[in-house]
Structure 1
Amino acid sequence: MASSLKDWVKAFYVVFAFCSVLCFGAIKSLLVGPIAALILSLGNLGVIFGLFPAHVAWTVFTLIKTNRFDAPLKVAILLGLPALFALWLALSIAISGLVAIGYGFFTPWVSSFEAFRLEHESKFLHCIVDGTWGTIKGSCTVVRDFADLCYHSYPLYLKELRENPTSNELQPLRFIHVPACIIVGIIGLVVEIPLYAAIAIVKSPYMLFKGWHRLLHDLISREGPFLETACIPIAGLTIIMWPLIVVGSILMAIFTSFFIGLYGSIIVYQERSFRRGIAYVIAMVAEFDEYTNDWLYLREGTIFPKPKYRKKRQSNSEPSVGKNQSLHDKFNSVFTESPAMLVPSLTASRSVREVIKEVKMVQIWGSMMKACEVRGTELLESGVITPVDLSDWLKAKHANDATIVDVGLPCFSFLHTLLDSIKAGSNGLMLLDGTEVNHLNRPQDRLLDWFFHPVMVLKDQIRVLGLEEGEVRYLEKMLLFGGNKARGNTWENRSFPLDPLRAAQIEGISRRMMGMNRSISKFPTYRRRYRQVVKDLIHSIGKDGVTTKSLAKEGSTRSTNSSSATKESFTRSISSRSIASIEIV
Structure 2
Amino acid sequence: MEPPRRFCDSLWNFIRFLPYFTGLLILGFIKGIILFPFICLIMTIGISGIILGLWPIHFSYTCYCILRTKQFGPVLKVLLCLCTAVISILWPPVGIASSVLGGAAYGFLAPMFATFQAVGERKRDKVYHCICDGTWGTVEGSFTVIRDFMDVCYHSYFSIMDDLLSEGKYYEIRLLYLPLALAIGVLGAMVDLPVISIIAFCKSPCMLFKGWHRLFHDCIGREGPFLETICVPFAGLAILLWPLAVVGAVLGSMVSSIFLGAYAAVIVYQECSIWFGLCYITASLSIYDEYSNDVLDMAEGSCFPRPRYTKKAPSQTNSRSTSFSRPSSFKKPPSRTTSLPAPMIELKPLELADSLFEECQRHGEIMVSKGIITLKDIEDAKNKIGSGKVITIGLPAYCIFQALLHSVKSNSTGILLNDNTEITTSNRPKDTFFDWFLNPLLIIKDQIKADNLSEAEEEYLGRLVLLRSDPARLKNTNIGPPPESELRRAELDALARRLQGITKSITRYPTFRRRFDESMEIILQELVKKNGENSKSRGSRPQTVPRSKSMFARILSQESFNSRKDNSGSDQEAQTVVQRDVEIG
Partner amino acid, structure 1, of 2:484: L
**Aligned equivalents of 2:511, 2:252: Cα separation in 1:** 23
Is 1:63 the counterpart of 2:66 in the alignment?
yes
Is 1:295 the counterpart of 2:295 in the alignment?
yes
Match of 1:379 in 2: 367
Do the aligned partners of 2:188 and 2:264 also contact (CA within 8 Å) in 1? Answer: yes
Do the aligned partners of 1:391 and 1:555 also contact (CA within 8 Å) in 2? Answer: no
Mark the CA change 1:553 to 1:256 in structure 2 (over 3 Å): closer, same or farther. farther
Q: CA shift at 1:429, angstroms? A: 2.1
Equivalent residue pairs, number: 525
**Aligned equivalents of 2:194, 2:392: Cα separation in 1:** 45
Mark the CA change 1:87 to 1:123 in structure 2 (over 3 Å): closer, same or farther. same
Do the aligned partners of 1:189 and 1:258 also contact (CA within 8 Å) in 2? Answer: yes
Q: CA shift at 1:216, angstroms? A: 3.2
Match of 1:164 among 164, 167, 170: 167
Is 1:549 the counterpart of 2:537 in the alignment?
no
Is 1:110 the counterpart of 2:98 in the alignment?
no
Partner amino acid, structure 1, of 2:21: F
Do the aligned partners of 1:224 and 1:348 also contact (CA within 8 Å) in 2? Answer: no
| CA shift digits 1:163-196 (9 cap, x unpaired) | 133xx324x5443344455666777788888998
Do the aligned partners of 1:40 and 1:139 also contact (CA within 8 Å) in 2? Answer: yes
Kindly name which structure, 1 or 2, has the bigger radius of gyration based on alpha carbons: 2
Match of 2:130 in 1: 127
Mark the CA change 1:394 to 1:555 in structure 2 (over 3 Å): closer, same or farther. farther
Match of 2:539 in 1: none
Do the aligned partners of 1:225 and 1:350 also contact (CA within 8 Å) in 2? Answer: no
Mark the CA change 1:544 to 1:174 in structure 2 (over 3 Å): closer, same or farther. closer
Q: Which runs of 5+ in 1 are unaligned?
A: 319-336, 339-344, 557-585
Match of 1:410 in 2: 396
Match of 1:477 in 2: 463
Match of 2:428 in 1: 442
Match of 1:532 in 2: 518
Do the aligned partners of 1:212 and 1:242 also contact (CA within 8 Å) in 2? Answer: yes
Q: CA shift at 1:460, angstroms? A: 1.9
Do the aligned partners of 2:116 and 2:130 also contact (CA within 8 Å) in 1? Answer: yes
Matches within 5 A, 1:321-360: 357-360=345-348
Do the aligned partners of 1:394 and 1:534 also contact (CA within 8 Å) in 2? Answer: no
Mark the CA change 1:212 to 1:374 in structure 2 (over 3 Å): closer, same or farther. farther
Match of 1:395 in 2: 383
Match of 1:502 among 488, 491, 497: 488
Partner amino acid, structure 1, of 2:450: V
Do the aligned partners of 1:388 and 1:551 also contact (CA within 8 Å) in 2? Answer: no
| CA shift digits 1:34-73 (9 cap, x unpaired) | 3334433454444444434433323322332233332333
**Aligned equivalents of 2:149, 2:101: Cα separation in 1:** 15
Higher relative contact order (CA 8 A, sep 6+): 1
Q: Which runs of 5+ in 2 are unaligned?
A: 325-329, 533-550, 561-585
**Aligned equivalents of 1:306, 1:91: Cα separation in 2:** 40
Do the aligned partners of 1:223 and 1:349 also contact (CA within 8 Å) in 2? Answer: no
**Aligned equivalents of 2:282, 2:143: Cα separation in 1:** 43
Mark the CA change 1:106 to 1:54 in structure 2 (over 3 Å): closer, same or farther. same
Match of 2:227 in 1: 227
What TM-score does the superposition give when structure 2 sets the normalisation length? 0.74
Match of 2:32 among 29, 47, 70: 29
Do the aligned partners of 2:394 and 2:469 also contact (CA within 8 Å) in 1? Answer: no
Match of 1:146 in 2: 149
Do the aligned partners of 1:113 and 1:234 also contact (CA within 8 Å) in 2? Answer: no
Match of 1:175 in 2: 175
Partner amino acid, structure 1, of 2:466: L
Greater shift, 25-34 or 176-185, is seen at 176-185
Do the aligned partners of 2:390 and 2:469 also contact (CA within 8 Å) in 1? Answer: no
Do the aligned partners of 1:73 and 1:178 also contact (CA within 8 Å) in 2? Answer: no
Mark the CA change 1:392 to 1:75 in structure 2 (over 3 Å): closer, same or farther. closer
Match of 2:418 among 432, 444, 454: 432
Coordinate RMSD, CA, aligned: 4.4
Partner SS, residue 458 of structure 1: helix
Q: CA shift at 1:389, angstroms? A: 1.0
Do the aligned partners of 2:377 and 2:391 also contact (CA within 8 Å) in 1? Answer: yes
Mark the CA change 1:533 to 1:80 in structure 2 (over 3 Å): closer, same or farther. same
Partner SS, residue 120 of structure 1: coil
Do the aligned partners of 1:474 and 1:496 also contact (CA within 8 Å) in 2? Answer: yes
Partner SS, residue 461 of structure 2: helix
Q: CA shift at 1:30, angstroms? A: 1.9
Q: CA shift at 1:386, angstroms? A: 0.4
Mark the CA change 1:78 to 1:538 in structure 2 (over 3 Å): closer, same or farther. same
Match of 2:23 among 17, 20, 25: 20
Q: CA shift at 1:230, angstroms? A: 5.5
Partner SS, residue 153 of structure 2: helix
**Aligned equivalents of 2:552, 2:142: Cα separation in 1:** 29
Residue identity over aligned pairs, in percent, reads 36
Q: CA shift at 1:366, angstroms? A: 0.6
